[in-house]
Amino acid sequence: MNNKKNPAEKKYTIGIVGVRGYVGKELLSLIKGHPLLELAWVSSRQLKGQTINSIVDGFDDLVVEDLSPEQVANKQTSIVVLALPNGLAAPYVNALEACQKSGVLIDLSADYRFDEDWYYSVPELDNIKQGKISLSSPIKISNPGCYATAMLLALAPIKDLVSGRPNCFGISGYSGAGTKASPNNDVERLSKNICGYALIEHLHEKEVSIKLDKPVSFSPHVAEFFRGINMTIQVEFEKRITARELFNRFNDFYAMHPLVVCKEEIPTLKESINSPLSVIGGFSVSKDGMRGTIISCLDNLLKGAASQALQNINLALGENSTLGLIENNELNPLIAANERLISKSSIEQLSANQLTQ
Ligand X SMILES: NC(=O)C1=CN([C@@H]2O[C@H](COP(=O)(O)OP(=O)(O)OC[C@H]3O[C@@H](n4cnc5c(N)ncnc54)[C@H](OP(=O)(O)O)[C@@H]3O)[C@@H](O)[C@H]2O)C=CC1
Catalytic residue among 146, 168, 262, 297: 146
Backbone angles phi, psi at 192, to 5 degrees: 50, 40
Per-residue interface string for the shown chain with ligand X2W, residues 70-89, x marking contact by CB under 6 A: ----------------x---
297 is catalytic: no
34 vs 303, beta carbon nearer ligand X2W: 303
25-33, 34-42, 123-131, 169-177 -> range binding ligand X2W (CB under 6 A)? 169-177
By C-beta, is 221 or 291 nearer to ligand X?
221
DSSP secondary structure of 72-87: HHHT--SEEEE---TT
**21 touches which of ligand X2W, ligand X, none (CB within 5 to 8 A by kind)?**
ligand X
Q: Which of 28, 40, 146, 325 binds ligand X2W (CB under 6 A)?
A: 146
**Whole-number Å distance between alpha carbons of 212 and 156:** 7
* CA R_g for the chain: 20
Angle at the Cα of 176 (from 171 to 181), degrees rounded to 5?
Answer: 120
C-alpha separations of 215 from 62, 133, 166, 168, 234 in Å? 46, 31, 8, 11, 13
C-alpha–C-alpha distance, residues 105 and 334, integer Å: 31
CB atoms within 10 A of CB 76: 16
> Which does residue 222 touch among ligand X2W, ligand X, none (CB within 5 to 8 A, set by kind)?
ligand X2W
User: From CA 276, how far away is CA 258, in angstroms rounded?
Assistant: 10
> Looking at beta carbons only, is 130 or 142 nearer to ligand X2W?
142
Stretch that binds ligand X, among 20-28, 97-105, 113-121, 272-280 (CB under 6 A): 20-28
Count of positions on this chain that bind ligand X (CB under 6 A): 29
* Interacting positions 100-119 with ligand X2W (CB under 6 A): 109-110
Contact between 170 and ligand X2W by CB under 6 A: the answer reads no
> By CB neighbour count within 10 A (0-12 exposed, 13-18 middle, 19+ buried), where does 3 fall?
middle
Minimum distance between the CB of residue 244 and ligand X, rounded to whole angstroms?
34
Q: Which span (36-44, 171-179, 269-277, 308-316) binds ligand X2W, by CB under 6 A?
A: 171-179
CA atoms within 13 Å, Cβ hemisphere of 159: 16
Kindly list the residues in this chain that would bind ligand X2W in the complex (CB under 6 A): 86, 109-110, 145-146, 172, 176-177, 184, 203, 220, 222
